[in-house]
Amino acid sequence: MFFVDFTAYFYSHSPFFLFIFVITKNFRAKIEPLQKYRFSP
**Under 8 Å between Cβ of 18 and 7:** yes
- Give the DSSP H or E segment for 1: none
Which pTM value belongs to this model? 0.37
Q: Return the ∠ at Cα 27 (arms to 6 and 14), rounded to 5°.
A: 35
Q: How confident is the model at residue 25 (pLDDT cuts 50, 70, 90)?
A: confident
Tens of pLDDT, residue by residue over 9-20, are 766 677 777 777
Query: Given a cut of 60, is residue 30 above it in pLDDT?
Result: yes
